[in-house]
Amino acid sequence: MTYDKIITGGTVHSDTSSFKADIGIKGETIVAIGADLKGTAKTEIINARGKDVIPGCIDVHVHLALPFCGTVSCDDFDSGSRAAACGCITMVCDFAIPGKDQTLEDAHRTWLKKSKGISAIDFSWHMAITNKRHIKEIPAFVERGLPTFKEFMIYESEGWNSDDAMLYATLEKVRRHNGMLLLHAESPRVLDLLIERAHTPAKMKKHGARLHAMTRPNFIEAEAIERAVHWCDVTGGRLYIVHMSTGEGCDIIRNAQSRGVPVLAETCIQYLTMTDERFKEKDGHLYACCPQIKKAADVKRLWEALEYGNEVSVISTDTCSFTREQKAMWEGDFTKIPMGLPGLDTMVPLVYTHGVRTGRLTINDLVRYCSTAPAIIMGMGHRKGRIEPGYDADIAIIDPKRTVKVDWKRLQSRSDWSPWQGEELGGFAHTTLCRGEYLVKSHRFVGKRGHGKLIPRMLPGA
Ligand SMILES: [Zn+2]
């Protein structure tokens, strides 16, 4: 066997174990794992002695160049994929959201245009169902390798919201055609009422951006998850709650799973590392994302879920970056803040630092939540999420001794601020390979624009 590249001397981590091994790569694929692999004169040796070698991480929840809240999120597939690569991520899943009167097919074409020839890392997207006519397009998209769909219980103003009937009908359809529904779960009617009550000049003057959190108490998310779990239970259609932010959510998912309801949940890095105290800061409005960051008790419960339970399966970013100038559009009105945070550069470093370095998680847990589980759950577990012969050579190498102080100026994201500015983080990529090609070398982005491919997916059990 000849190899194009051999990664030697590193400690290889899977979702369940860690071991010393060399990795042989030919073309885009891992072809050998073993002790002392031998190359030829042409083989490139990547020395990983003293370093952690993990499968490329996968962020299954990003919004790149998304028209939203009256503007367009500032990271696209160019800057977003560069940021991802520097943060150990080798594939992202975006959400293709149809415009008014558009079909899923139209949305799919728009997202192809945004990504193909631009993204340095691999990609796919979930198809957003914003109209009941979209439901009949589900089988065709499952067939072509896009088996995951998204619905929003809120965002009536964007024209994206689904009611219970659409949820129910979509879950029936995904059950029949082996798809899965991803859901933004917040209770729209009560949320609207609370926002309407708070949306007065006096209250806005008094509380500012804090109203964003004050109008979204935990029961807004909890009631929505509970209702969705009910429709999931009676239809048997697979459901995945995106960006779960509350302790109540964890309890509901745990309970549902114990009854055999086919529901999974993800949380995002912002819900594990920040609380709504941030809204009290000067420029607190910058931290507005949706759902908003919650309380210390929620942060604690979400970490417990990761440490001991199964109720949270995946960590993602929900990246939707806006610059300071874009965020300034709010002008004191909490309902006008572009909602979203940057995060692709820093997700894996934050899990590494707050999870692995503190001992709360093992590095195998990091691999599970950021690579293996998202790969399996979203239908690319046959070629991504593991370092094994036959798998794509998507690999990140971390120097465990290196710590970096976060400075947005040195990140690849186009955001001109970072929620984690000044934090000391380990876990940035020393080396990143995507299908055998260098994206990052000695902590420097060297990837090629357009290297990334649309990866066809098929859910387990098909
Ligand atoms: Zn999102």
Task: Let me know: does 376 contact 391? Beta carbons within 8 Å.
Answer: no
Compute the distance from residue 62 Cα to the ligand 1 centre, in Å.
6
Query: Kindly report the CA angle at 6 between 4 and 12, in degrees rounded to 5?
Result: 140
Tell me the one-letter amino acid at 16. T
* Residue of 116, 87, 115, 9 lying closest to 439 (CA atoms): 87
Total Cβ atoms within 10 A of residue 351:
27
Compute the distance from residue 399 Cα to the ligand 1 centre, in Å.
31
Compute the distance from residue 318 Cα to the ligand 1 centre, in Å.
5
Q: Which secondary structure element, helix H or strand E, spans residue 425, and what is its range?
A: strand 424-425
Compute the distance from residue 53 Cα to the ligand 1 centre, in Å.
29
Compute the distance from residue 242 Cα to the ligand 1 centre, in Å.
7
For the chain, which residues score pLDDT lower than 70? 462
How much is the pLDDT for 462? 55
The b-or-e profile of 415-426 (16+ CB within 10 A means b, else e) is bbbbbbeebebb
Compute the distance from residue 57 Cα to the ligand 1 centre, in Å.
18
Compute the distance from residue 10 Cα to the ligand 1 centre, in Å.
35
How much is the pLDDT for 311? 96
Compute the distance from residue 141 Cα to the ligand 1 centre, in Å.
20
**pTM score, whole prediction:** 0.97
Place of tokens 């991803």: 182
Compute the distance from residue 389 Cα to the ligand 1 centre, in Å.
33
Phi-psi region of 196 (alpha: psi -120 to 50; beta: other; left: phi over 0): alpha
Compute the distance from residue 254 Cα to the ligand 1 centre, in Å.
22
Compute the distance from residue 184 Cα to the ligand 1 centre, in Å.
8
Compute the distance from residue 260 Cα to the ligand 1 centre, in Å.
26
How much is the pLDDT for 157? 87
Residue 434, Cα to own-chain centre: how many angstroms? 18
How much is the pLDDT for 18? 98
Compute the distance from residue 312 Cα to the ligand 1 centre, in Å.
16
How much is the pLDDT for 461? 80
Place of tokens 């004050």: 214
How much is the pLDDT for 1? 84
* Per-domain boundaries in the chain: 57-377
Cα–Cα dist 191/216, whole Å: 7
Compute the distance from residue 113 Cα to the ligand 1 centre, in Å.
20
Strand 5-8 versus strand 44-47 pairing type: parallel
CA dihedral defined by 252, 258, 259, 264, rounded to 10 degrees? 60
How much is the pLDDT for 423? 98
- Helix 218-235 and helix 247-258: axis angle, to 10°? 20
Q: What is the CATH number of domain 57-377?
A: 3.20.20.140
Compute the distance from residue 343 Cα to the ligand 1 centre, in Å.
12
| pLDDT tens figures, 414-442 | 999 999 999 999 999 999 999 999 999 99
Compute the distance from residue 219 Cα to the ligand 1 centre, in Å.
19
Neighbour-count burial of 202, counting CB atoms closer than 10 A to its CB (0-12 exposed, 13-18 middle, 19+ buried): exposed
* Residue of 141, 137, 88, 92 lying closest to 114 (CA atoms): 92
Q: Is 118 strand, coil or helix?
A: coil
